[in-house]
Amino acid sequence: MEVVFEENPYGGKGRMKIEKVLSSAELADKCGLYARVTIPAGGALGYHEHHGNGESYFVLSGEAIYDDNGVKRTIGPGDSTWTPDGSGHGVDNTQGKEPFVFMALIVNK
């Protein structure tokens, strides 16, 4: 399993950990990413838009504020999200007391 760290992702805050479940070769052209993602307490994944793909999250642990095209809500374990092609999202765990962990799946159009 490949592990990647991103600093201040999409203008966010902190060091996000991405544990890639499948390699690029295994994903082929169908998916852009399938990974377990950890945003530390005090961190954030900045708002960004998807073009040519969509992304789903499934929350494993922690709670954070999810920005779905400007509509913000708290999400936690068992919640799922979907951001279709042409839409945007972000995750704010800056007020969190524990890491926010979720599965991320990017599906190519």
Q: Kindly report, residue by residue over 48-69, the tens digit of the pLDDT.
A: 999 999 999 999 999 999 999 9
pLDDT(24) > 90: no
Q: Which residue is it, tokens 């961190």?
A: 43
Q: Which domains are seen in the chain, by residue range? A: 2-108 (2.60.120.10)
Q: What is the 3-state secondary structure (H, E, C) of the chain?
A: CEEEEEECHHHCECEEEEEECCCHHHHCCCEEEEEEEEECCCEEEEEEECCCEEEEEEEEECCEEEEECCEEEEECCCCEEEECCCCEEEEEECCCCCCEEEEEEEEEC
Residue 80, beta-bridge partner list = 58
Whole-structure pTM value: 0.94
pLDDT band per the 50, 70, 90 thresholds, residue 23: confident
